[in-house]
Amino acid sequence: MNKNLERLYNGIIKENPTFVLMLGMCPTLAVTSSAINGLGMGLSTTVVLVLSNLLISAFRKIIPDGVRVPAFIVIVASLVTIVEFMMKAYFQSLSAALGVYIPLIVVNCIILGRAESYASKNPIMPSIFDGIGMGLGFTVGLTCIGLVRELFGAGQLFGAQVLSLSWFTPITIFVMAPGAFLVLAFLVAGMNIIRKKMDEKGKPLAQPAGCINGDCASCGKADGCKDRKGA
Amino acid sequence: MKELLLIAVGSAVVNNVVLSQFLGICPFLGVSKKTETAAGMGGAVIFVITLSSFVTALIYKFILANETLMKMGIDLTYLKTIVYILVIACLVQFVEMFLKKQMPPLYESLGVYLPLITTNCAVLGVALTNVTKEYGILESVVNGLATAVGFFIAIVLMAGVREKIEYNDIPKPFQGTAIVLITAALMSIAFMGFSGMI
């Protein structure tokens, strides 16, 4: 049980996919215009991640090594299709707000990355908890970014007006496309400061892995990226 | 004709794939350090997205949404995500092999970028958008080409700016990715100016 708790802590805090590893930047930028959208996206990614970790871990001895990435992609794509239809059936407004980004969970770095680096090498229980941890970490990240953007951009939290419009003029740019880039830029800068402080304390944080620094060594698609170093 | 032109302008600048739809952020941040490599990546993306929009549109029309099958009550359209991602992955591999064998000069300039594109979310994103917007085959190809041209414009502009940023004195925490994201935010504001066009 201890190992499972360790996976949860690892996913939510130590290697938080949004704040520390900086994975899955496309959905992070695209769907965080409000906290509720971020929460919805995070939770649907969590569902896919937990189920894909479960299946991949269960089949890890059957899937031949040479075709493992295509096999992972088929598993993930099937799960994403199921989640997409469930959302269309039970959460219509959220499904409409997230639109094309729901099927695009298939190409989210985090999912293939966890499949490749954890689930394909570990037993079922730790893999499930790894999925829950990483998924909740992603959810927390998206929700926090969504909260900030919603607060500045509309004066609302989860759709409820908290800053009265009588004195607060919403900075609309925050809920539009440029606001996503701006908030993420300040997040990256803030993490740079924290990273430096932790280094000085002798407890270095995990390095960002993936899109953000143009290096995808741990993102599960590393095979395709080996030529990237020169670029 | 007018409709196609509207789709093209809309996808290339008004709803720019990177700056307003946030697809393909990875290569946009990762491969935009030099103008030449950015242009190479942009070229490869134009090639792959145009081709994949054509192929996925054909598959959708003649296999997934096949009229005879539909009449028999078999609707395969729910398979589109699975089919598209596999088709795109195979297509990129195939294009790479074909270019290597038949067009070595083109392979030299685009080849190294091709494997990076397989999981670029812009490729799958465009294919799925074509279905959602109910575009036919010609419209899908035009939409794909225009989206990719939009990506090319964004990444080349970004590379140009980044080459200049190298020489600037930037506060420590903002060095690296953070200043690139700020630049992207400013570019995104500039591209919002196109929104009145259509």
Mean pLDDT of A153-158: 88
Which amino acid is located at A119 in the chain? A
Is the pLDDT assigned to residue A211 strictly greater than 70? no
Is the pLDDT assigned to residue A166 strictly greater than 90? no
Chain-chain contact of A106 with B124 (C-beta, under 8 angstroms): yes
Least confident residue range of A161-165, A218-222, B30-34: A218-222
Q: How many residues does chain B have?
A: 198
Question: Which of the two residues, A91 and B74, has the higher pLDDT score?
Answer: A91
Question: Beta-carbon neighbour count of residue A45 at 10 Å?
Answer: 27
Dist CA A10 CA A117 (whole Å): 14
Mean pLDDT of A77-87: 94
Q: How far does B31 lie from chain A, in Å, by closest CA? A: 6
Q: How far does A182 lie from chain B, in Å, by closest CA? A: 6
Cα-trace Rg, chain B:
18
Dist CA A71 CA B79 (whole Å): 16
Per-residue HEC secondary structure of chain A comes to: CHHHHHHHHHHHHHCCCCCCCCCCHHHHHHCCCCHHHHHHHHHHHHHHHHHHHHHHHHCCCCCCHHHHHHHHHHHHHHHHHHHHHHHHHHCHHHHHHHHHHCHHHHHCHHHHHHHHHHHCCCCHHHHHHHHHHHHHHHHHHHHHHHHHHHHHHHCEECCEECCCCCCCCCCHHHHCHHHHHHHHHHHHHHHHHHHHHHHHHCCCCCCCCEHHHCECCCCCCHHHHHHHHHC
pLDDT tens column, B99-149: 888 888 878 777 667 777 766 788 899 999 999 998 999 999 999 999 999
Is the pLDDT assigned to residue A228 strictly greater than 50? no
Q: How far does A5 lie from chain B, in Å, by closest CA? A: 32
Q: What is the pLDDT of residue A15?
A: 86
Q: How far does A186 lie from chain B, in Å, by closest CA? A: 7
Chain-chain contact of B22 with A192 (C-beta, under 8 angstroms): no
Q: Which of residues 50-109 of A touch B (CB under 8 A)?
A: 70, 73-74, 77-78, 80-81, 84-85, 99-100, 103-104, 106-107, 109
Chain-chain contact of B81 with A81 (C-beta, under 8 angstroms): yes
Of B25, B31, B115, nearest to A29 by CB-CB distance is B25
A45's CB contacts (< 8 A; 6+ apart) are A24, A27, A105, A108, A110, A111, A135, A138, A139
* Domain edges within chain A: 2-213
Is the pLDDT assigned to residue A213 strictly greater than 60? no
Best interface-test mutation with A: which of B23, B26, B120 has the largest number of A CBs within 10 A? B26
Dist CA A206 CA A21 (whole Å): 7
Name the one residue in this structure whose structure tokens are 């609707």: B75
Mean pLDDT of A61-76: 88
Q: Which of residues 182-211 of A touch B (CB under 8 A)?
A: 182, 184-186, 188-190, 192-193, 210-211
- Residues A153 and A145 sit within 8 Å (Cβ to Cβ): no
Q: Which residue of B has its CA nearest to A222?
A: B116
Is the pLDDT assigned to residue A139 strictly greater than 90? yes
Q: How far does B103 lie from chain A, in Å, by closest CA? A: 20
Q: Which residue of A has its CA nearest to B35?
A: A231
- Is residue B71 packed enough to be buried (19+ CB in 10 Å), middle (13-18) or exposed (0-12)? exposed
Q: What average pLDDT is seen over chain B?
A: 87
